[in-house]
């Protein structure tokens, strides 16, 4: 499978307050974001990271964390990214265009008002602005094929290619095979949660607790 994410800001204590992230410490945030990443992305997958993996962290520590992230990684360099070990990535660029599942994508850390083949149905993926999902929904409502793949807009998990295509083609329009594969990954994430000490019954409560903490910070 193919995945996208951005703006994890691992090591950045201040981002918890700045973005009302539902974590009580930077250590909890680092642990949960890495676990979420690896719960969905498999070692044989491809993942495009659209910048700002780490902030306020020594490059040696950042390299160690990145080396533990699953998948064949492509980095679109963000304003907070360090000079990571290039051997950890398949490619590192400021801007990239790719054709995936017959759809053209323009990838960059920063959002753009215009991008290659915009008028021909290409989708622009970005990060940087730490938007919420209502930003992506508003873009869709206005016919703008631009999507923030950052963790703050996607429940602190990577977002799959199939999810993005379904989002812009209309909710629920995943092909049967893509839907089955995606649900398989969700099931594997559930099993992972159990392996680290949670039971299946705990998972809804964990999700509710994250939402409660987030709402409390907003209030």
Task: Give this prediction's pTM.
Answer: 0.79
3-state secondary structure 198-209: CCCCHHHHHHHH
> Span 165-192, mean pLDDT?
62
pLDDT digits (tens, 9 = 90+) for 93-121: 999 999 999 999 999 999 999 999 999 99
Instruction: Write out pLDDT tens, residues 149-175.
Output: 999 999 999 999 999 999 998 533 444
Degrees (nearest 5) of the Cα angle 71, 130, 65? 35
Domains, the chain, with CATH or none: 2-173 (3.60.21.10)
């Amino acid at each position: 499978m193919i995945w996208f994410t951005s703006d994890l800001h691992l090591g950045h204590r201040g981002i918890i307050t700045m973005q009302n992230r539902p974590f009580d410490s930077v250590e909890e945030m680092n642990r949960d974001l890495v676990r979420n990443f690896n719960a969905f992305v498999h070692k044989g997958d491809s993942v495009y990271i659209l910048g700002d993996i780490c902030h306020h962290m020594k490059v040696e520590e950042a390299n160690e964390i990145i080396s533990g992230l699953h998948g064949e990684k492509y980095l679109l360099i963000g304003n907070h990214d360090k000079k990571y070990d290039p051997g950890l990535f398949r490619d590192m660029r400021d801007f990239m265009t790719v054709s995936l599942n017959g759809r053209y994508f323009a990838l960059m850390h920063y959002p753009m008002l215009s991008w290659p083949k915009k008028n021909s149905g290409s989708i622009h993926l970005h990060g940087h602005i730490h938007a919420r999902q209502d930003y992506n929904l508003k873009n869709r409502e206005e016919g703008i094929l631009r999507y923030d793949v950052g963790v703050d807009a996607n429940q602190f998990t990577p977002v799959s290619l199939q999810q993005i295509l379904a989002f812009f083609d209309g909710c629920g329009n995943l092909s049967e095979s893509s839907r089955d594969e995606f649900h398989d990954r969700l099931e594997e994430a559930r099993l992972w949660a159990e392996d680290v000490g949670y039971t299946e019954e705990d998972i809804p409560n964990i999700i509710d607790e994250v939402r409660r903490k987030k709402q409390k910070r907003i209030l």
